[in-house]
Structure 1
């Protein structure tokens, strides 16, 4: 009966139970009236009881009750299970529909973001040339090549030139961010020598940290294996990380770059003795245009795009980036980039180090590069 209740409908299950009760009742009646022989099973009940109508009715009542109760319980459980199954199927269909809708919305969002990036890149590119021309003209005026500039006029022109430079920096960052997000680097991937890339970046930033009296140290073994990546993107990554470290480090501070190979990755750390990042701001520092409140107080000028660009380039290279910071003591950014496939010539994480060290000259420190 239980199997029948699982396989059949409720109505068919009760009909099956009724047929079983009727069949047993018919057999008992035929046996009671002697139409079929009685086979006695010794050891269960006495032989005379099968002729006692009260015992026969009680036995039939117990059997019938047991059959119908079993059918009721089984069909009730099966009904609930089937209802749950219908709900699951319905929910599955609904989730499948929602998934398709979400995928469609995601595709549309990606397309809108791509169009926005293209538009942003085009507008930034179109604006950069005239702004650069304006800045050049303002510099010519400030240098007195068009005639003497009075004090008040010079102040106004200097402010205009400064604002123009800030706009150019913003446009440049927007172009770099757009390029990092749309980067198709498969055809541009090559082996990039990290010590050489860091030296080039430090050379470009030399004037900036000389003016701030900040010492920059690059403690990088010259025998490090190369990473697999786009040279321009990796150098931009270092430019932003080291530039940020210098920018938010007070005068007389120190910035240290370290690198070591770990399994299939190169670990690069850029540490500074700067203002640090409050814990509540760390999850947001890679967001576009975000600057921590203490960063805004320390350096008024900034686009808030530098770390967004870094994160985009790290993601494109299938690496990762993390940050540790303590307010008032400094910040360390750690980047992992995949190593290039090894040639027959083996590299190691030890060996000669390329270091940038500070030297006391007159009233400020000049940074020089040497090998040791």
Structure 2
């Protein structure tokens, strides 16, 4: 062995100790050898000195036998490897010592440099392997204990998060209920303000000065704007609570688009914006909720007009694969930065969140649009570049399914039969009239 080993020989017979020393030297063992003649001295040395690599222990000592000494060592947690040296007829005792924790045993009658050197090397190799395994097991136990503590902490955190989630859900429910109640309550006086303002603006109510007419017109315009904001909050609270129902019917989509654009044309003309329509549909009839589609288109056009200072706004209506229709609103406005695109459909989220922002609003328009489109089984996408404008595309099924209506089950079958019959009549009529792709620019 190249390393220098620290070895202790415990034997009361000096001749036997010399024999062990010579055998180890002859075996080429580099060592620092210590010798004692009784068990008490061995215990004291092993307790106070640095660790030994191996102990050669004579079974028969003057103050105690080898078994007692070995038990004493183990009870004091001294894990040094022990090779027991026995005399004639002590083999059975040596086996008992092995069971008690001895590493190996050797009869003194068989003592030689080759055997002793081999036993020493094997003993040290096995002991070190056992120590590595014990260390690994200890580390494993510590890791396991750490994992158990971490799991307990994570479980506590999970329960805490679960509790917080329940509180947040309840807070959200209360918030939605509050918003719905307040929006509903505020709409009644707001409708009265708008109605009375409209009456005052009629000529039969009497002559008004220009200043009075301007003030009443402002009351009317701001009342309509506030009512629109209240309606947005009310719709959003209904969507959050799952209480907003679709009321589908069969209608001409091109007529609805044209009527909605005409309603928004005055706002576009105030900013000298061109408002165009392009319709490319073979079949103009759809089965959907016309009120909600009008709301979607109105919101998109309002945004387009709001964020466009010059240029034009176009509404495109066309067919897409999968028996769907697409409504696209294109503008030449300020555009949206790529980093903001993923956030524009979040509730109450606006690109400019400051109180001094140039463009007012609740930040609910696009979230409501997205929720309505998803209720209809469609999807909405946006393409935009800063300074060049935006394109919002909505693809909707030409005919929404009955599961999206949230209506009564008793009337659904009759409604479905009438709907199919109507579709056949309408498709036949359009085919007979030779309707082709229509393109309208207004």
Q: Distance in 1 between matches of 2:375 and 2:88?
A: 88
Q: Could you say what secondary structure the match of 2:330 adopts?
A: strand
C-alpha deviations, 1:38-63, integer Å up to 9, x for none? xxxxxxxxxxxx94533333222222
Report the equivalent of 2:260. Answer: 204
SS in 2 for 1:307: helix
Give 1:165's aligned residue: 224
**Residues 1:239 and 1:208: Cα distance change in structure 2 (over 3 Å):** closer
Other-structure match for 1:86:
145
Task: Evaluate the alpha carbon distance shift between residue 237 and residue 62 of structure 1 in structure 2; reply closer, same or farther with a 3 A threshold.
Answer: same
Tell me which moved more, 159-168 or 214-223. 214-223
| Residue 437 (structure 2) aligns with | 353
> CA separation in 2, counterparts of 1:321 and 1:168?
26
Instruction: Name the counterpart of 2:158.
Output: 99
Q: Pick from 227, 235, 238: which aligns with 1:179?
A: 238
What is the CA–CA distance in structure 1 between the aligned matches of 2:177 and 2:188, rounded to whole Å? 18
| Offset of residue 72 of structure 1 | 0.4
Structure 2 CA distance for aligned equivalents of residues 298 and 329 of structure 1: 20
- d(CA) in 2 for partners of 1:29 and 1:235? 108
Aligned-residue Cα RMSD (Å) equals: 4.5
- 2:316 is equivalent to residue 257 of structure 1: yes
Conserved in 2, the CA contact under 8 Å of 1:256 and 1:272?
Answer: no
Residue among 118, 121, 125 paired with 2:184: 125
In structure 2, the gaps of 5 or more residues are: 1-70, 92-108, 402-419, 428-434
- The 3-state SS of whatever aligns with 1:357 is coil
What are the superposed Cα offsets for residues 263-309 of structure 1, whole Å, 9 maximum, x if unpaired? Answer: 59766543233332244443442244444459x99985544321121
CA distance in 2, matches of 1:230, 1:97: 48
Question: Does the alignment pair 1:271 with 2:334?
Answer: no
Residue in structure 1 matched with residue 277 of structure 2 by the alignment? 217
Distance 1:328 1:120, change over 3 A: same
Alignment TM-score, normalising by the size of structure 2 = 0.59
Aligned: 1:55 with 2:114: yes
Residue 99 of structure 2 is matched in structure 1 by none
Moved >6 Å (runs of 4+): 28-33, 224-227, 296-299
Greater RCO, 1 or 2 (C-alpha within 8 Å, sep 6+): 1
Aligned residue-pair number: 321
Partner in structure 1 of residue 380 of structure 2: 321
Aligned to 2:174: 115
Shift of 1:139: 2.1
Sort the Cα spacing of 1:25 and 1:223 in 2 relative to 1 into closer, same or farther, 3 A.
farther
Instruction: Give 5+ residue unaligned stretches, structure 1.
Output: 1-10, 34-49, 359-372
Displacement of 1:242: 3.6
- Distance of aligned partners of 1:181 and 1:318 in 2 relative to their CA distance in 1, 3 Å threshold: farther
In structure 2, how many angstroms separate the alpha carbons of the residues matched to 1:130 and 1:156? 19
Larger Rg: 2
**Does the 8 A contact of 2:260 with 2:294 survive in 1?**
no
Instruction: State the Cα deviation string for residues 178-211 of structure 1 (Å, max 9, x = none).
Output: 22222357x8586x77x83464143133132255
Whether contact under 8 Å (2:308, 2:331) holds in the other structure is yes
The answer to whether the Cα contact below 8 Å between 1:248 and 1:299 also exists between their aligned partners in 2 is: no
The 8 Å contact of residues 245 and 255 in structure 1, kept in 2 or not, is answered as no
